[in-house]
Amino acid sequence: MSVARHTLVNIASAILPMALGLATVPLYLRTIGGERYGVLAVILALLTYFSFLDLGFGIAVGQRIASLSTKSSSEPSRILWTALLSTLFLGAISGVLLYLISGSLLALVGVVPAGKQEEAHAALRWLSLAPLFLLPISAMAAALGARLRFEEIGAVQVLGNSCSQLFPLAMALSGRTELEALVPAALASRVLMAMLLFWLCRRHVPLVGGPCIDWAHFKGMLGYGGWVSMKAFLGPVLLTSDRFFIASQYSAAAVANYTVPYDLVSRTLIIPGSFSSALFPRLASTSRADARALAYRYGKVLLAVMTPIVIAGVSLSRDFYDLWLGPSFSEAAFGVSELLLLGVWLNTLVIPHHIDRMASGDIFVRRPSISQCYGSD
């Protein structure tokens, strides 16, 4: 299957749950109320800040398996067992930490109303079980991606992400609207995803034999993944620090004028993100010279796709805001979408070459300049 088809599969698996989310939000608001739904959204969003605790084992297992010869039968299994046991251990540590600091975390976030503090605290303690499933899920999905099983990964992601919205909604419609019932229902979707991915790994990696840690692979993946995990830690911090800065310098209304365009523009990142996931295992499985040539070629393709999207967004954003949120918001947010879209386009220039560097397994060497990436042939 081609990179283009894999990219389309990845995009579809991201968009379908998003569309379902738009349909379920009104039902949530009518069933559990805006205040409780807001607290639920904050609690579930906190999970993104714990993804770095897998120490990069997810991307490391994908890079390592993809770089192996397809004739190797036992090596991928040893790599994946090592990653699974390591991420289970890290998930247990993360869960204990989340359980211990749950009260302080809610106070730090500062958006939970006084009447919902006890309910949110109980729900967050349930959520401390989530890293036990989330961290191994990233390793199993990466291993299947290395085997180019993107259709299976996409199907599991669509099912799991859809269930994470439907399970709590079903619980709420049955009359259980408290957060300590809704959060475990959402967590059940991740348990289902973990079970399905494990079954697929058994078939396609293949995952054979009993659980064991190969210490040579462990040290290699930890050395590679540790640097990646630092990026995963800094990413969410950098993505939210701008809003804290705006709030401190201006007002909450200014944050809204920035956040709404930001959230819309960020949806365009589904395309380069899906493209990167499809390209990564191919770059890891080929020679360095061929990988650089592939990155150069597909970089031009991605740029050709994203350029008209960015131009359309810049041209139509003001009219869209006029129609959607009214002229007053359009005037206040003028220029935000345009600058953010320019940033998306500039980021598109380097994405394939960044993925090439990650796929090579050597992420510390000097990166090529833009002129080297897109200079004359």
Query: What pLDDT does 367 receive?
Result: 46
Query: What mean pLDDT comes out for the span 159-175?
Result: 92
Query: Which of the pair, 40 or 241, is modelled with greater confidence?
Result: 40
What's the start-to-end Cα distance of the chain, in Å?
27
Query: What pLDDT does 282 receive?
Result: 82
Query: What pLDDT does 257 receive?
Result: 76
230 pLDDT above the threshold of 50: yes
Cα separation, 31 vs 37, whole angstroms: 9
Query: What pLDDT does 144 receive?
Result: 93
Q: Which long-range contacts (CB under 8 A, 24 or more apart) does 167-172 make?
A: 168/40, 169/24, 169/27, 169/28, 169/31, 172/28, 172/31, 172/32
Model confidence band, residue 168 (pLDDT cutoffs 50, 70, 90): very high
* pTM (predicted TM-score): 0.77
Lowest mean pLDDT among 49-63, 81-95, 123-137: 49-63
97 pLDDT above the threshold of 90: no
152 pLDDT above the threshold of 90: yes
- In SS3 terms, 318-349 reads as HHHHHHHHCHHHHHHCCCHHHHHHHHHHHHHH
308 pLDDT above the threshold of 90: yes
Side chain identity, residue 366: R
Residue 207: DSSP 8-state: -
Query: How distant, in Å, are the alpha carbons of 134, 164, 237, 375 from that of 137?
Result: 5, 15, 23, 39
Query: What mean pLDDT comes out for the span 257-278?
Result: 84
Query: What is the share, in percent, of the chain residues with pLDDT greater than 70?
Result: 81
Highest mean predicted confidence (pLDDT) among 195-204, 314-323, 341-350 = 195-204
- Total Cβ atoms within 10 A of residue 249: 8
**Among 184, 231, 197, 272, residue whose Cα is nearest residue 56:** 231
Query: Which of the pair, 45 or 216, is modelled with greater confidence?
Result: 216
Model confidence band, residue 368 (pLDDT cutoffs 50, 70, 90): very low
197 pLDDT above the threshold of 90: yes
Query: What pLDDT does 194 receive?
Result: 94
Model confidence band, residue 184 (pLDDT cutoffs 50, 70, 90): very high
Cα separation, 327 vs 317, whole angstroms: 12
Cα separation, 272 vs 266, whole angstroms: 11
Query: What pLDDT does 376 receive?
Result: 44
Query: What pLDDT does 366 receive?
Result: 46
Query: What pLDDT does 369 receive?
Result: 46
Query: Which of the pair, 140 or 358, is modelled with greater confidence?
Result: 140
48 pLDDT above the threshold of 80: no
25 pLDDT above the threshold of 70: yes
DSSP for 233-254 reads HHHHHHHHHHHHHHHHHS-HHH
| Cβ neighbours of residue 19 closer than 8 Å, sequence gap 6 or more | none
Query: What pLDDT does 221 receive?
Result: 84
28 pLDDT above the threshold of 90: no
- Helices 150-173 and 131-146 cross at an angle (nearest 10°) of 150
53 pLDDT above the threshold of 80: no
**Angle at the Cα of 65 (from 63 to 66), degrees rounded to 5?**
65
- Total Cβ atoms within 10 A of residue 163: 20
b/e map 183-203, b = 16+ CB within 10 Å: bbbbbbbbbbbbebbeebbee
Query: What mean pLDDT comes out for the span 30-38?
Result: 82
Cα separation, 315 vs 310, whole angstroms: 9
Query: What pLDDT does 336 receive?
Result: 87
Cα separation, 110 vs 93, whole angstroms: 25
